[in-house]
């Protein structure tokens, strides 16, 4: 019973120690924007078909295309058009079958191989997607999008030189800001910031309102510890009145590093309102809620992350620490152990367990 009387003091000391641990550990999680490039750089979008407009139009178009294919099931173009529509409305399995038939009917069409690559990518069948994109780029009249898609897949594999070569082939056909951005990103991921910067500048020379280039220039400045210059670039990304969530997220990270918690929270909250919830924004805002003593808000944020990304080491770790601050060591350990099952290579989780 004597030890129980000391419990409030023990919990107070534990809370102090955990707060100190948070201050030591969380800067790595909330790190300056460039620490985790895939999560803060504006990357080229994944291969996809253009979205369709109205649902009513989709249903009517699907009906017409199915009727046309029924009349001539061996016509490659009819299979392709229906397959693309089905992929656009989420029926990827049937789309893959139809576009595969299209390729068999006309194996000389680079466009059909490219479309097959998109569907395989949507199905997360990366090896087949890579093969289809590669085949498309080896053929005459290869769509420039096929070179870009192949470059993206090389980048996902960490093959940055090959990625750059593929995207540069696309740039030779059309010098648009998105392609320059992609080339700049491959240089960034190889650690050559000057070359990366030169391509981001080319993107802005092509289109001075191209927000992603300003964001990535800001990431470069943050990586170089030029934090005021980074703020200026993120500010330019926000200057057009478009509350770009990546720019807001990165600006909030800079304010967090300077100890400006209220300003950082305000920008994270704007980022959440600006787009469908993104894991890194939720994890970051949850961390600041935790550091600010807003435990219910912190728990809500971490649980939302884990609903869509149960392998998030940051969310599992911080939720565990939240339980620890509340005095529930058993739940803290269980939460971090659960996180380790999902992310067994996380040094953060091993350290805090």
Residue-level pLDDT, tens digit, the chain, 353 residues: 444 454 445 445 444 444 443 432 332 333 222 222 223 445 556 666 666 655 556 666 667 767 766 666 567 777 888 888 888 888 888 888 888 988 988 899 999 999 999 999 988 898 999 999 999 989 888 887 888 888 888 878 888 788 888 878 877 776 788 888 888 887 887 788 888 888 899 889 999 988 888 988 888 888 888 888 988 998 998 887 777 888 888 888 888 878 888 888 888 888 877 665 577 778 888 888 887 888 899 899 899 888 888 888 888 888 888 888 888 889 989 998 988 888 888 777 887 78
The Cα 35–Cα 87 span in angstroms is 35
The Cα 89–Cα 54 span in angstroms is 11
pTM beyond cutoff 0.85: no
Structure confidence at residue 53 (pLDDT): 55
| 8 A C-beta contact, residue 342 and residue 335 | no
| 8 A C-beta contact, residue 314 and residue 348 | yes
Structure confidence at residue 303 (pLDDT): 92
CA 82, chain centre distance (Å): 29
Residues 55, 58, 59: CA angle, nearest 5 degrees: 90
Exposed/middle/buried for residue 195 (C-beta within 10 Å: 0-12, 13-18, 19+) = middle
Exposed/middle/buried for residue 51 (C-beta within 10 Å: 0-12, 13-18, 19+) = exposed
Structure confidence at residue 289 (pLDDT): 85
Structure confidence at residue 226 (pLDDT): 86
For residue 343, CA distances in Å to 36, 244, 349 come to 17, 30, 8
Burial 259-271 (b: 16+ CB within 10 A, else e): eeeeebbebbebb
| 8 A C-beta contact, residue 252 and residue 271 | yes
The Cα 55–Cα 37 span in angstroms is 36
Q: How many CB atoms sit inside 10 A of residue 158's CB?
A: 9
For residue 106, CA distances in Å to 68, 74, 78, 100, 292 come to 18, 10, 12, 10, 62
Terminal alpha carbon distance of the chain: 28
Exposed/middle/buried for residue 134 (C-beta within 10 Å: 0-12, 13-18, 19+) = middle
The Cα 127–Cα 150 span in angstroms is 11
């Amino acid at each position: 019973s004597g030890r129980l009387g000391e419990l409030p003091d023990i919990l107070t000391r534990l809370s102090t120690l955990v707060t100190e641990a948070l201050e030591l550990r969380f800067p790595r999680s909330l790190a300056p924007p460039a620490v985790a490039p895939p999560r803060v750089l504006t990357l080229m979008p994944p291969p996809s078909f253009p979205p369709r407009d109205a649902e009513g139009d989709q249903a009517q178009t699907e009906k017409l295309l199915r009727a046309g294919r029924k009349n001539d099931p061996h016509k490659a173009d009819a299979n392709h058009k229906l397959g693309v529509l089905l992929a656009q409305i989420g029926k990827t399995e049937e789309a893959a079958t139809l576009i595969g038939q299209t390729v068999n009917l006309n194996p000389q069409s680079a466009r059909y191989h490219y479309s097959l690559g998109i569907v395989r990518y949507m199905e997360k069948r990366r090896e087949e997607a890579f093969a289809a994109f590669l085949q498309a780029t080896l053929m005459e009249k290869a769509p420039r999008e096929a070179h870009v898609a192949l470059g993206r897949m090389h980048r996902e594999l960490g093959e940055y030189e090959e990625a750059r070569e593929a995207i540069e082939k696309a740039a030779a056909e059309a010098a648009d800001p998105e392609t320059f951005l992609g080339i700049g990103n491959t240089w960034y991921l190889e650690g050559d910031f000057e070359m990366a910067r030169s391509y981001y500048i080319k993107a802005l020379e092509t289109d001075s309102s191209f927000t992603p280039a300003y964001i990535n220039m800001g990431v470069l400045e943050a990586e170089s510890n030029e934090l005021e210059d980074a703020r200026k670039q993120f500010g330019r990304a926000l200057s057009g009145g478009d509350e770009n969530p990546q720019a807001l997220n990165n600006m909030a990270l800079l304010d967090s590093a300077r100890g400006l918690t209220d300003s950082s929270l305000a920008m994270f909250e704007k980022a959440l309102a600006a787009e469908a919830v993104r894991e890194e924004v939720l994890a970051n805002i949850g961390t600041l809620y935790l550091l600010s003593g807003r435990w219910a808000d912190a728990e809500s944020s971490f649980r939302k992350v884990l609903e869509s990304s149960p392998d998030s080491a940051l969310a599992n770790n911080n939720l565990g620490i939240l339980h620890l601050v509340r005095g529930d060591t058993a739940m803290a350990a269980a939460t971090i152990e659960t996180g380790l099952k999902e992310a067994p290579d996380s040094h953060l989780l091993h350290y805090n367990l």
